[in-house]
Every structure is written in structure tokens, then in C-alpha cells.
Amino acid sequence: MHLTRLTRCLGMLGTMASSLVGCLQPVRPTITATPTYTPTDSSLATHALPDWYQDGKLGIFVCWGLYSVPGWARGPGKTLQEILAKGDGTEWFSNNPYAEWYLNSLKINGSRTQAYHRATYGETFSYDDFIPQFNAASTAWNPSEMATLFADVGAAYVVLVTKFHDGFLLWPSRTPNPHRRNYAAQRDIVGELTSAVKARGMKMGFYYSSGLDWTFNTQTITNFPTLFTAVPQEAAYGSYIDAHWRELIERYDPSILWADIGSPAAFDPRPLFADFYNRNNAGVVNDRHKMGLVNGQLSSPVHFDFTTPEYQVLDTITTKKWESVRGIGLSFGYNRTEDVAEFLSVDALVDTFVDIVSKNGNLLLNVGPAADGSIPDGQQTRLRGLGDWYRANREAINGTRPWTTAQATTTTGERVRFTTKGSAVYLILLDTPRIKQVTISGLPLTAVAAMTAVPDGKDISFTYANGQLTFDAATTADPAHAYRVR
């Protein structure tokens, strides 16, 4: 779905990767203060990462659109790494596990999606025929209930897909699609969810597919080399995406601009960033606004506040803020074929979250609502399980920073992660200890004065000498259990 993952995939192709890879007037947001930023790299580089984004740690991504009506995908049964080891990704796209890619998969002759579509809807049923079904189904959506769920989980922010690669809009834009009539949701989904999210104290962000729009460039993407040739390059498309970004900023005042698959070669996002920061200095932008191929090589993005590895965690602490974006299962869009057994367990989800935070990352966890806006039970179970753990251990996560080291292993093999805040170091056991007395060696602490269990505040019996900490751990800690060390 997203460019960072595809960039990594292209890199795995080795030498193959090196050989591949006016009519609309944008609406400028009103700037009420003296401009601080100009559209230059040096000026934008002075933008500081706001505390709310650094401190909040958890965001919820909402992937919802026309593709949610069929809600169908079948993956290749292999990992992407296995596929790329033998080819250019053709097998991946013809059996794309991302249900939001339904339209592209439908156009690939012999694909499982094409066979499913013809058997279910008939050969004359087009993708656009899902529009009335989506509009009818979405009348049942309750944005207040959705936002309340996200707040209960402990999310600091929400990122909504406002336009995916299929070009369908989830708000009533004053810059409508020039190639499709009425190609937008009847409800102002963007506005309604934004209001509900902000009312519950969370920040709102918008995903917008700036690099792909299959109504402007209808080329079927069959492998990774064709991905970037499918980016619309005409000047009208550059004006179109600029007008949309500016309208979203002006109308809904978001805190995050989350682009995907880069943008047309002639489009420069720097003026957009400068205007956005001048309007909202606490706003952030991701690293996918401007990437593509230059002389067969992947270009570097322009200014960004954080990177976005997809379905990945990093091995070590990074100075630059990053955000791991992933689904609870293997798809972002709703996929009725996914077995709940394919979803991350609550325990694995908590472990992933803690690991990411310990290395200076945030987790942007996706939900894929059905066409009526309901979040399937299997996804809700994982969200609520994460929320239960988060409420009990929030002190060890919110507002923390990476410690000297991110991870360690006990002498009996349990995984440990660390965070820090003020004078406290937080130790989080990802595994239930085999024995009650746990020992961690090689800790860079001069002394330990006190140790407390975060969930209940009880003092923990411990000894510490020469970098070795031994303490009485909870032996029923499933999932992870956090301790405060001072």
C-alpha cells in the first residue's frame, strides 16, 4: 500500500532496481500570523517535532472506501521477500493481499480478485458500481462511536484515508474529480470523523494518495517497476492534489499531512509545507510526499518530520522520529477473507508497540472498517486488549524517550525493553518470567534506589550491584509488564 515498503522491496531487487526505478487554481489557507517558514529546505528544516507527536506514541489509521464494499483479497501464500528473491513482484500484485488494491487487482487477467469479482458480481459490474452501495451502507456509520473506541484505546491521534489510489473522495470537495462524475461519498466522512476525534482530545491527520490516482492514470500496476510509471505526470494532476491538500487544511485544520507514493515529478510540496506550518506550527508531515525515480534511482524525499516503515520495526534506537504503520492483519482495507488467526494477538500487539516506542517510534495501527463503517469484532478485540494494557502501563509509554539502550535479555531468556522519563527508567518485560526472581546484567545504572510495578504501584523487592539487577517479577504478566526504576 505505501511507498516505504515498496522502496525497501525495490532495494531487494538489486541491480534490477537501478534500471527501473494549470487549469485548477489551488486554494491557499488563510495565514493569520507573520509567516515563519518559507518554502526552502533550510527554512523547513528548522521545524521542531511537536511534543504531542513525540509523547503520544499511538495513532489509529482508518482505511475505508469503495474497496470496503467487496472487501476481498487473497494473498500469494508467500512472504514478499520470498517473491522478490525470484522476480520483480509480479506474483505479489496478481495476488495482492491488500484489499484496498481491489481495483488494480481486478484489472489483472487471471488474478484471484478478477475471478472472485466475476463470480460474485458478474462481468459487467464495474468498480464504480460500488458507489451507491457504499453510500447506502455508510448511512449507518456512527463517527462518535468510532472516535470513542479510538480514545478508549489510548490513541493520541487518528489518520483517515481521505483519498486512496482509486481516487474516490471521502469529503465533498470543491475541486471534484474531472474524470468521474459524483466520485465522492455522499456523507462528509472527513468532516464528521474530524469533529468526533477532536471532541475527544485527539489530533486528526489525513492520508492522501498523492502519487497514484487511477482515474488520472489508468495503467495497471503488475510489478514494482511499473509502480512509478503509473504516477500521473500532467500539470493538471499536480494542481489537483495541491488544491485538495489546501482545501483539507483550510476546511478541517488537521495536525498531520500523510502522503503516499510520492507525487508527480513537477510537484513541489515545499510551499504546501511552509503554508501548513505557518498555519499550524504543531503540525507534522511524513516522508512520502516527494519520492520517485530519477535516472532509474529512487530519489530521496524532501523535508519530513518522521519516517514511515511499513509492517516493520527497527533494530536499534534512531535519532530521527519514525512511525511504524501496519494493519492488525495482513490488509489495510477490510478483507472478509482474513481469518482472525492471521491477526496479531493482543500479546504480540503489545510487544510490537513497546518495542517500537523503546526505539523512538510511534505505532500507527490500522483498522479496516466494513462498508457500513463498523469495525469487525476481531479487530475490536485486539484494539480493546491493547487499550486495557495501555491504561495500566501508560506511565511507562506516554511522554517517554528512548533510554541508553532499547533492549536486553534476562538471564533466563525473557525479552526486556526500556524507556525513560525524568529520573525514572522503565523496564518492560515482554515475556512472562519462567521463575519469580529475574536477573538482568550489564545495565548502565550507577545505583537503584527504588523499584515499583507500574500497573499497581507496589514496591518491588530487588538487589542491584555492578550493573546486575535482580528483582521479584510478576509471573502472570501476560501481556507485557512494566516496572519503574529510580
Q: What is the pLDDT of residues 271-314, one digit of tens each?
A: 999 999 999 999 999 999 997 655 555 566 799 999 999 999 99
**pLDDT digit string (tens) for 406-425?**
999 999 999 999 999 999 99
More confident residue, 98 or 301: 98
Q: What percent of the chain has pLDDT over 90?
A: 84
Per-residue model confidence (pLDDT) at position 125: 98
Cell of 365: 495501527
pLDDT at 35: 77
Residue 7 covered by a domain: yes
Last residue of a domain, one of 338, 365, 395: 395
Residue 58 domain-assigned (yes or no): yes
Question: Which CATH number goes with the domain that contains 429?
Answer: 2.60.40.1180
What is the reported pLDDT for 421?
A: 98
Q: Whole domain around residue 87: which residue ranges? A: 3-395
| pLDDT, position 158 | 99
342 and 453 share one domain: no
pLDDT digits (tens, 9 = 90+) for 107-146: 999 999 999 999 999 999 999 999 999 999 999 999 999 9
User: Please, what is the angle between helix 270-279 and helix 235-252, to 10°?
Assistant: 10
In the prediction, which pLDDT does 28 show?
41
The model's pTM is 0.93
Do 255 and 345 belong to one domain? Answer: yes
Same domain, 329 and 433: no
Give the pLDDT confidence score for residue 4 in this predicted structure. 46
- pLDDT category at 30 given cuts 50, 70, 90 is very low
- Average pLDDT for residues 55-73, to the nearest whole number? 98
Pair (347, 250) in one structural domain: yes
Q: With pLDDT > 70 as the criterion, what percentage of the chain qualifies?
A: 91
